[in-house]
Amino acid sequence: MESKDLRKAGLKVTLPRVKILEMLERSENRHLSAEDVYKALLDSGEDIGLATVYRVLTQFEAAGLVQRHHFEGNQAVFELDEGSHHDHLICVTCGAIREFYDETIENRQNEVAKRLGFGISDHSLILYGKCNTYEKTGTCEFLTEE
């Protein structure tokens, strides 16, 4: 995304918006809390307040640039909305988040909705559990695999 994407979304191009958008794009972690964004901005020498980060992320959400998720623990995390649907696996041991897409699951959800006379407008599937190797090695496989 670029400054033109901010304008296209109906947002004025400001330094905080540009810096936060860049931070979301560059981060290896696709799911960031407002506090994560704030700390990363501080670490990179940017002087943008936490209240501004919250405000900008809320504006980005309203403009369709990011999606807000409330995973277990109820802390909101944000990810860039790149237009493609995916679901999430959450490791309850370390908090790592993995994205996945499974056509069989998607088809089954549509079949169930159709059978029950329900039209799906949106959905979210979040699976919570523990990664397979954490108990054995103390290292979460979610943090080391792509």
Pick from 122, 67, 127: nearest CA to 97:
127
* Residue of 97 and 66 predicted with greater confidence: 66
Q: Are residues 71 and 117 in the same domain?
A: no
Say if residues 128 and 72 touch (Cβ distance below 8 Å): yes
> Domain range for residue 71?
3-80
Overall average pLDDT of the 18-35 stretch? 90
Instruction: For 112-141, give one letter per residue: b (16+ CB within 10 A) or e.
Output: eeeeeeeeeeeeeeeeeeebeebeeeeebb
Give tens-digit pLDDT for 68-97: 998 877 678 999 988 888 999 888 887 778
Residue type, 115: R
Overall average pLDDT of the 10-20 stretch? 91
Q: Which residues pair with residue 69 across a beta bridge?
A: 77
Q: Are residues 70 and 10 in the same domain?
A: yes
Q: Are residues 76 and 102 in the same domain?
A: no
Q: Are residues 126 and 93 in the same domain?
A: yes
* Overall pTM surpassing 0.75 (yes/no): yes
Give tens-digit pLDDT for 100-125: 999 999 999 999 999 999 999 888 89
Total domains present in the chain: 2
Q: What does the H/E/C string look like for 8-48?
A: HCCCCCCHHHHHHHHHHHHCCCCCECHHHHHHHHHHCCCCC
Q: Are residues 12 and 66 in the same domain?
A: yes
Average pLDDT, the chain: 86
Overall average pLDDT of the 28-50 stretch? 92
